[in-house]
Amino acid sequence: MKCRDIVNILALCALCICIIQPVTAGTEQIRDNATDYYNLAETFLVKGSYQEAIDTFDKALAENTTLIKASDGLLYTYRDKAYAQIQLGKYSDAVASLDQGIALYPKDQMLWNNKGYALFKLDKYQDALSAYDKAISLEQNYTIALINKGDALSQMGRYDEAITAYNKAIESDPGNRDATAGLAAAQKNAASALPMTTIVLVIVVIAAVGIVIWHVKFRTPEAKESSDKKSKENKK
């Protein structure tokens, strides 16, 4: 299983429910620029206009964010801005956006998971693994993060650990197709890696035996001859 765009699907699912309504006081509506920009950015995101969404999220962040922070809109701003950046392949930018969000919301598991995804796409597998572990520590049954962790471990050749991660994902979401596919691939790779490990071990053993034989056959007589010569010299 490829490290999936599923990482960010939750962000899309939230788009339809996270439009912030302007605050009302009696019959008077309080206009808020950050809220307006945020709502517009979410509209761009739904349409797939990712660069426009990024630019508009930045406009929201440049305004007073007090109201959108109170409604969790600020959290969604960082999540969804990073989502748009990931869709455009701007993975380093996404990591920067997610780090800004994590600074304010360090216990948000989605921010950590999506950071791991962006790092994975940058081939920074160990850093991605650390981010996934953080997400899982915040939500032990976080299926997507468990699958992503399995992908990172598989990419690093740590198939046994990947198998464990995929199995935990299946426990949290029985029948999950991505987890099942990842597990099958990891098991296959682990099985094919075993003969290679055995071959390497045999080569090492043969090399070690060869060194011993060479030492016994060629080095020992020379040492003995040198010793005999020295004995003869001492007798003169």
31, two tokens? 């206009």
pLDDT at 193: 78
The mean per-residue pLDDT over the stretch 96-107 comes to 98
The mean per-residue pLDDT over the stretch 89-101 comes to 98
Rounded distance between C-alpha atoms, residue 147 and residue 152, angstroms = 9
Tell me the pTM: 0.74
pLDDT for 7 beyond 90: no
- Residue pair 186/154 in contact (Cβ under 8 Å)? The answer is yes
pLDDT at 25: 37
Q: What is the pLDDT of residues 148-200, one digit of tens each?
A: 999 999 999 999 999 999 999 999 999 999 999 999 999 999 999 765 445 54
pLDDT for 221 beyond 60: no
Least confident of 117-121, 134-138, 149-153, 213-217: 213-217
The mean per-residue pLDDT over the stretch 89-95 comes to 98
Give ∠ CA 42-12-99 in degrees, rounded to 5. 80
pLDDT for 6 beyond 70: no
- Residue pair 64/34 in contact (Cβ under 8 Å)? The answer is yes
The mean per-residue pLDDT over the stretch 215-234 comes to 49
Rounded percentage of the chain residues whose pLDDT exceeds 90: 68
pLDDT for 202 beyond 80: no
Pick the more confident residue, 12 or 77. 77
Pick the more confident residue, 75 or 225. 75
CATH value of 5-18+72-235 in 1.20.140.10, 1.25.40.10, 3.30.930.10, 3.40.50.800: 1.25.40.10
pLDDT for 72 beyond 60: yes
181, two tokens? 């596919």
Give ∠ CA 227-229-233 in degrees, rounded to 5. 115
**Which sequence spans correspond to the domains of the chain?**
5-18+72-235
Torsion angle of C-alpha atoms 75, 76, 78, 82, degrees rounded to 10: 150
Q: What is the pLDDT of residues 14-25, one digit of tens each?
A: 554 455 555 433
Write a three-state SS string for the chain.
CCCCHHHHHHHHHHHCCCCCCCCEECCEECCCHHHHHHHHHHHHHHHCCHHHHHHHHHHHHHCCCHHHHHCCHHHHHHHHHHHHHHHCCCHHHHHHHHHHHHHHCCCCHHHHHHHHHHHHHCCCHHHHHHHHHHHHHHCCCCHHHHHHHHHHHHHCCCHHHHHHHHHHHHHHCCCCHHHHHHHHHHHHHHHHHHHHHHHHHHHHHHHHHHHHHHHHHHHHHHHHHHHHHHHHHHHC
